[in-house]
Structure 1
């Protein structure tokens, strides 16, 4: 899967994620039903985290009739399979860039365009583990969310700033 903050063919990115999800579900012996696949595709339609109710609205526009419990059960399945992550502060979901590799997420989230990117950084994991160990705390999982401005939005902001200086 491609990085959110880089130029890439997102259609290929999404198709690759769906194919990996199908393959992992088959390997694990679990069903990747049409509804599960549709929810997964909707999550991967962009690199912006999406809420359960946004998913529900989009599903209602399709052939499926889904209720909030159905969407939440589907999201629980995708989380259990390691195919998506939950962005806690946004109460939203995003596709996992490393499915099949059980891990907790670190995300950088742009405050301007709202895109998010999963970051796999050993240093962050080591610091969190070190802090947990120092406090004799048995860590089960963690999610790290880092907010800021992505390169594209920084570039756009600097273009607007430089245009303003020439007036």
Structure 2
């Protein structure tokens, strides 16, 4: 994944190219998501945002999230109703595969071209027009497996 400053710079550049505004609040919400070690809920985002903007309200976060999602800067983890930074902002058509740890809550975005191609091929065969796709895989991450193994 690109580092924090690279993601912010890439998002700002894409906003300029697209003629949309990365407002201060949108950038703050994006920054919080990037810095989060795990997928983060909207209300957890609001709690962190209130540390620097005490007047922030839920609509502030939801409007920022809508913008960030529409621009392809973040992904929504549907199964847990959380958000993560996209590791490839600007590549909206990519198929995101998310590895979600059910123990610690970490979410790792990965890309398996063979899986993406197979999904697209099947969609084409049945005449389905894909707007976007995210594959969520639940399990236990390596760190949690090691921790569990050490406890036994």
TM-score, scaled relative to structure 1? 0.81
How many residues are treated as equivalent by the alignment?
151
Q: Which has the larger radius of gyration?
A: 1
- 2:126 equivalent to 1:135: yes
CA, structure 1 residues 130+85, in 2 after alignment: closer, same or farther (shift >3 Å)? same
Q: Does the residue aligned with 1:90 lie in a helix, a strand or coil? A: coil
Q: Residue 87 of structure 1 aligns with which residue? A: 77
Per-residue CA deviations over 1:25-72 (Å, capped at 9, x if unaligned) read 223232211111110011111241111111112212213522222211
Distance 2:130 2:22 in 1: 31
1:119 alignment partner in structure 2? 110
After TM superposition, the structure 1 stretch with the greater mean CA deviation from structure 2, 26-35 or 130-139, is 130-139
Contact 1:47 1:115 in 2 (8 A): yes
Distance in structure 2 (CA, Å) of the matches to 1:139 and 1:39: 28
> Residue 128 and residue 85 in structure 1: after superposition, are their counterparts in 2 closer, same or farther (change >3 A)?
same
| Residue among 16, 19, 32 paired with 2:22 | 32
Range with greater deviation from structure 2 (46-55 or 114-123): 46-55
Shift of the 64–20 alpha-carbon distance from structure 1 to 2, 3 Å rule, reads farther
1:48 matches 2:29: no
Report what 1:148 is aligned to: 139
- Give, in whole Å, the separation in 2 of the partners of 1:122 and 1:47: 26
- In structure 1, stretches of 5+ residues that fail to align are 3-12, 162-167
Which 5+ residue runs of structure 2 have no aligned equivalent?
A: none
Q: CA deviation at 1:92?
A: 1.2
Q: Pairwise CA RMSD of aligned residues? A: 1.7
Look up the match of 1:61.
51
